[in-house]
């Protein structure tokens, strides 16, 4: 065992221990989970290692396709026990929940910094919201933004005891840390279907707020100017947006409380003039912005401004700027290929494989390359690599074939699995490499040499 490999296995050990400490021991598996795990061991370890399955993450539809594919392979083999359809269903469910896949990346840019550092923001995912109940339906914890982004790995980040609502509409909500009460500066993305692929949602926000006396006389009305700007332009020009004012909203009834009409922001801004009779003086009011001609349903792209108190004689100017883009597709994906995956060599020689690792996703990513199940001395170089989207890197795997004596006693071939795993998106791919030692029947050699003399 060389030094490098020793270090690697110590690190792997610590990881396993800390994972058990965090979840394994304290958590009791549900009956369905226990069945699924047992079926996996029973049916899925005879042709390739369990790692093939447990390192993979797929959508429910992806797992269904794989399990059916594997069940067909098993059905074609006389030496393996068939998987009944009922057991296939249990396996699919188990894999979808425990090795499910969806990555939702939320990036934030507070362009004006009026709301403080990005780290004061949090994001969470919602599903199945009903209009008028906009703060229910949250199925992940609130995750605080670090390094300008939040990455939800589903189902890992699902709230305790919950399940990712695969195939349901989900949407992202962002808010300032700790403020679970509505209204607050709050932004909701367009909904997307969870489980079809990975998503990225980028938000950029800025808001300016200014309140000034309207003059020396205290006038019995107030003017509120709302200007809108979409920096990304993804949602068209500001005239495709409308705005209205709200007050007295209770959490759980967020689309109630509107006291003005919806007014389209024709030239990018809307001026509300509130008279003495219809303005809720002294109360907190807030602005809501939405696309024109949309029904009043939630969720939809929706933006709620920071609340302020309406005072007679004061004019308020507020400007909200935002940017939002969504990427729907394989954000994180990887391909590992080996043009040559079987090789032979004499005892005490080294066989070298050249693999290609490609980042086939839409984002840059760190990949860790690991080797599993090796009996013979194996080395992988490099063990981790950062690849921009579309980039590839060569991975070199060397296998040392042992001496002839060891080959005779322990077997002449060693099959190993090389796996590349993305750190953020958890996309993975693996290849099997089979190396065999050739034993020369040296007993004939001296005979030949002697007759030549």
* Close Cβ partners of 17 (under 8 Å, ≥ 6 residues apart): none
CA 194/CA 192 separation, integer angstroms:
6
Least distance from ligand HEC to the Cβ atom of residue 47, Å:
3
14 vs 80, beta carbon nearer ligand HEC: 80
CB of 25 to ligand HEC, least distance (A): 25
Comparison of 56 and 158: residue with beta carbon closer to ligand HEC: 56
Smallest distance, ligand HEC to C-beta of residue 112, A: 46
C-alpha pair distances (Å), 28 with each of 18, 25, 42? 17, 7, 20
Name the minimum Å distance from CB 58 to ligand HEC.
7
Q: How far is the CB of 333 from ligand HEC (least distance, A)?
A: 13
Three-state secondary-structure class, residue 38: helix
The distance of closest approach from Cβ of residue 402 to ligand HEC in the complex, given in angstroms and rounded to an integer, is 27
CA 350 to chain centre: 39
- Minimum Å distance from CB 67 to ligand HEC? 5
C-beta closer to ligand HEC: residue 83 or 289: 83
| Neighbouring C-alpha atoms within 13 Å toward the C-beta of 275 | 2
Nearer to ligand HEC, 70 or 395 (CB): 70
Taking the complex as a whole, the smallest distance from the CB of residue 44 to ligand HEC amounts, in Å, to: 3
Looking at the Cβ atoms of 91 and 310, the one nearer to ligand HEC is: 91
The three-state secondary structure class of 185 is coil
Q: State the Cα–Cα distance between residues 260 and 292, nearest whole angstrom.
A: 15
- The token pair at 358 is 């490609």
Please give the radius of gyration of the chain, using alpha carbons only, rounded to the nearest integer.
Answer: 30
Extract the tokens encoding 337. Answer: 């290929």
Closest Cα partner for 201 from 319, 322, 328, 300?
Answer: 328
Q: Classify strands 186-188 and 302-304 as parallel, antiparallel or unpaired.
A: antiparallel
CB of 46 to ligand HEC, least distance (A): 5
Reading the block at residue 113, the tokens are: 């910094």
Could you tell me the smallest distance in angstroms from the CB atom of residue 198 to ligand HEC?
16
For residue 261, the SS3 value is coil
DSSP state of 117: -
Reference 369, options 361, 357, 378, 360; nearest CA is 357
- For the packed helices 85-98 and 60-75, what is the interaxial angle rounded to 10 degrees? 140
Q: How far is the CB of 43 from ligand HEC (least distance, A)?
A: 4
Q: What is the residue-wise DSSP string for 322-373?
A: EEEEEEEE-SS-EEEE-S--EEEE-TT-EEEEEEEEEE-SSS-EEEEEEEES
Residues that bind ligand HEC (CB under 6 A): 43-44, 46-48, 52-53, 56, 66-67, 70, 73-74, 77, 80, 91
Closest CA to 121 of 207, 187, 200: 187
The two tokens of residue 403 are: 């001496």
* Least distance from ligand HEC to the Cβ atom of residue 349, Å: 29
Nearer to ligand HEC, 46 or 352 (CB): 46
Among residues 13, 9, 31, 11, the alpha carbon closest in space to that of 21 is found at 13
Name the burial class of residue 226, with classes exposed (0-12), middle (13-18) and buried (19+) by CB atoms within 10 angstroms of its CB. buried
What are φ and ψ of residue 265, in 5° steps?
-90, 75
């Amino acid at each position: 065992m060389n030094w490098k490999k020793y270090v690697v296995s110590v690190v792997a050990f610590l990881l396993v221990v800390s994972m058990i400490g965090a979840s394994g021991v304290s958590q009791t598996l549900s009956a369905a989970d226990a069945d699924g795990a047992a079926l996996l061991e029973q049916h899925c370890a005879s042709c390739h290692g369990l790692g093939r399955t447990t390192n993979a993450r797929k959508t429910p539809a992806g797992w269904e396709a794989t399990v059916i594919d594997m069940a067909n392979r098993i059905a074609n083999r006389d030496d393996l026990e068939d998987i009944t359809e009922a057991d296939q269903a249990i396996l699919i469910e188990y894999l979808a929940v425990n090795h499910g896949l969806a990555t939702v990346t939320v990036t934030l840019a507070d362009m004006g910094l009026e709301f403080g550092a990005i780290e004061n923001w949090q994001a969470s995912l919602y599903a199945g919201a009903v209009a008028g109940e906009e703060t229910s339906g949250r199925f992940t914890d609130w995750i605080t933004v670090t390094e300008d982004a939040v990455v939800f790995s589903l189902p890992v980040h699902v709230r305790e005891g919950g399940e990712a609502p695969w195939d349901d509409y989900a949407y992202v909500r962002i808010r300032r840390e700790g403020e679970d009460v509505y209204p607050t500066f709050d932004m909701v993305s367009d909904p997307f279907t969870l489980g079809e692929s990975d998503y990225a949602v980028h938000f950029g926000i800025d808001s300016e707020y200014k309140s000034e006396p309207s003059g020396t006389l205290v006038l019995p009305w107030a003017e509120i100017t709302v200007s809108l700007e979409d920096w990304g332009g993804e949602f068209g020009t500001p005239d495709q947006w409308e705005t209205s004012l709200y007050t007295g909203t209770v959490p759980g009834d967020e689309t109630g409380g509107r006291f003005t009409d919806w007014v389209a922001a024709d030239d990018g801004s809307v001026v509300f003039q509130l008279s003495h009779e219809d303005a809720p003086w002294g109360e907190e009011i807030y602005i809501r912005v939405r696309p024109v001609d949309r029904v009043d349903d939630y969720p939809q792209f929706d933006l709620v401004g920071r609340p302020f108190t309406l005072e007679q004689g004061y004019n308020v100017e507020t400007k909200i700027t935002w940017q939002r883009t969504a990427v729907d597709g394989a954000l994180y994906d990887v391909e590992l290929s080996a043009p040559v995956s079987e090789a032979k060599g004499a005892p005490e020689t080294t066989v070298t494989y050249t693999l290609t690792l490609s980042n086939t996703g839409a984002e840059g990513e760190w990949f860790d390359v690991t080797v599993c199940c090796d009996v013979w001395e194996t080395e992988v170089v490099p063990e981790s690599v950062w690849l921009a989207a579309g980039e590839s890197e060569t991975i070199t795997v060397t296998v040392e074939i042992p001496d002839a004596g060891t080959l005779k006693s322990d077997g002449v071939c060693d099959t190993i699995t090389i796996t590349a795993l993305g750190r953020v998106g958890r996309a993975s791919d693996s290849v099997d490499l089979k190396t065999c030692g050739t034993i020369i029947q040296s007993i004939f050699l001296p005979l030949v040499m002697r007759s030549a003399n």
